[in-house]
Structures are given as structure tokens and as C-alpha cells.
Structure 1
Amino acid sequence: MRYPRIGLVTVLADDVEAMKAFYGGVLGFEIVKHLGSYVEFRSDGVRFAVCARDVMFTHTGHPSYVEEARGQRFELAFPAGTPDDVDLLYGELVARGAAAVRPPATMPWGRRTAFIADPEGNIHELYSLREGEDV
């Protein structure tokens, strides 16, 4: 029996172009497929994409795809290396257009962490690795 694994993470969006600009331009993910309402980015490990909500509604007929989202539904966490790297990356991303949510701080669990948001308001984490830890 094969164990479950995640092969693709898709962020649903109302404005795919704004999200493409954020994940491609601000965060620096390389675009490998762009079909207008669907954009896929190169990412080590799991495939990563942005897709228009209405496209998923068309394919599934499920109303939740077009209902207004409320509250934080998910978080992407980006390893940034050392604690100093978190500070530098946070500053760079905010300067390039990421919305600042919380500046870097050392958390009770021992990681240096900062939070930014994408154009649709999804909050994401930048975090430091522990000594000897690999992504």
C-alpha cells in the first residue's frame, strides 16, 4: 500500500493575475504553466498552483468555490534559513509588495518567524531553520 502524499497545492483566487504577480514577481517562483485562469509554479517538492475559484466551480458544481471566503483558511510556510535570513527576506518581500502582517520575532517555540499576506489576504509564514535542520 502506498502512503498518502500531497502532489499539488492549489491556492484558489478571485484575481489570478494579481496572485501570479505576487507568487511569481514578489516571491520569485518560476512560472511553468499559465493558462489564464490557472498558473503553475516551479517549486521543490510539491507542485504549486493558483486557480480561479469560478473555474473550480464550473468543474465541480460545488457552491463553496464561489462563496465568499471568511477567515484564514490555510498558511504556506517558507523556510528562510537562519534567523537573520528571516529578517532580510521579510524586508525584501515587503519592499517588493508583500503585505506586512507581523515583523520578524523569535517565537516561544524557538524559531524566528515573520508573517506576510498575498493579494487575496492569505497570511503566510517565513521561518528560520533550527541548527542542523534541512527543509
Structure 2
Amino acid sequence: MRRVDYVIWYVDSLSESVRFYCDIIGLEVRIEGRGYVEFAMENLKLSLFERSKLPELIGQSPGTAPCGEIGFRVSDVDTTAESLRALGVTPLTGPVDRPWGERTMHIADPDGNIVEFAQKIPRPSH
């Protein structure tokens, strides 16, 4: 198993989270219904599922966020940061150069899930 097919975030307010991922992140809805929204992505399925419907899906409620992060590759993290700030988003971190050869910044979605934007940069030499 070497390929991720989908990522689903469990969210409290589906409408608020859909608005965030569409208006702030810039995604488009591909499928919607019964507490589920899937975004149009090229490389995997990114979906939101309404937290109140989880007991019927998995038999229990999930833990609380943040439980992980999703990362988006961008060509220019600084431009992305400026765009997000203009939309009223306050970054959790960055933009900052990382020793593994990326410039990154992090924000939180309405449920506290972490969203990272990363730009490839030359790795520092030691």
C-alpha cells in the first residue's frame, strides 16, 4: 500500500468548513450529500464529513482536532500568506524556511485541523 486514495476531515459545521475550504483554500466541491462533501482534486480525494453523523458511519465519535495536517504544495508560500492574510486568516506559523528543503506556513481550519502550505526550496548545506 503506497498510494493514499483519500483524506476525510470530521467537522462540526459542514457548511462553515465547506466555506473555508472553498473561499480560503480555493477548492471546488465535486460531490455533496448526506453530511459529506468531496472536493475536486487531481491527485486524491479530500472530503469533509459531518461529525454528528459519525456514530452511524463508524459506531463512535472521533477524537478532537488537531489530529494531523493536510499539506498543499504551492509555488510561492509568501504570496499565499499575503493572500490568506488579506482574507483575514492568521497563520499559526511561517512562512519559514525548513531544514528539509521547504518554506512552509500553517493555518487552522474551523475545526482546528492543520493546513500546511509548502514551497520547495534548496536545502541548506552544512
Give the TM-score category using the shorter length.
0.7 to 0.9
Q: Identity rate of aligned residues, in percent?
A: 30
TM-score between the two structures when normalised by the length of structure 1: 0.80
Cα deviation, residue 114, structure 1: 0.9
Indicate conservation of the 8 Å contact 1:99/1:118, yes or no: no
Of 69, 72, 83 in structure 2, the residue corresponding to residue 92 of structure 1 is: 83
Indicate conservation of the 8 Å contact 1:22/1:98, yes or no: no
Tell me the residue number matched to 1:101.
92
Cα deviation, residue 17, structure 1: 0.8
Tell me the residue number matched to 2:33.
35
Tell me the residue number matched to 2:74.
80
Q: Unpaired runs of 5+ in structure 1?
A: none
Tell me the residue number matched to 1:52.
50
Tell me the residue number matched to 1:9.
7
Structure 1 residues 119 and 94 mapped into 2: Cα distance closer, same or farther (>3 Å)? farther
Structure 1 residues 108 and 4 mapped into 2: Cα distance closer, same or farther (>3 Å)? closer
Structure 1 segments of 4 or more deviating over 4 A?
none
Cα deviation, residue 79, structure 1: 0.7
One-letter code aligned to 2:111:
E
One-letter code aligned to 2:32:
H
Query: Which one is further off, 17-26 or 108-117?
Result: 108-117
- 2:115 aligned with 1:124, yes or no? yes
One-letter code aligned to 1:44:
E
Tell me the residue number matched to 1:20.
18
One-letter code aligned to 2:70:
L
TM-score between the two structures when normalised by the length of structure 2: 0.85
Higher fraction of strand: 2
Give the superposed CA RMSD.
Answer: 1.9
Count of aligned residue pairs for this structure pair: 122
Whole-Å separation in 2 of the counterparts to 1:44 and 1:52 = 23
Q: Unpaired runs of 5+ in structure 2?
A: none
Report 1:52-71 matches (<5 A): 52-62=50-60, 64-65=61-62, 69=64
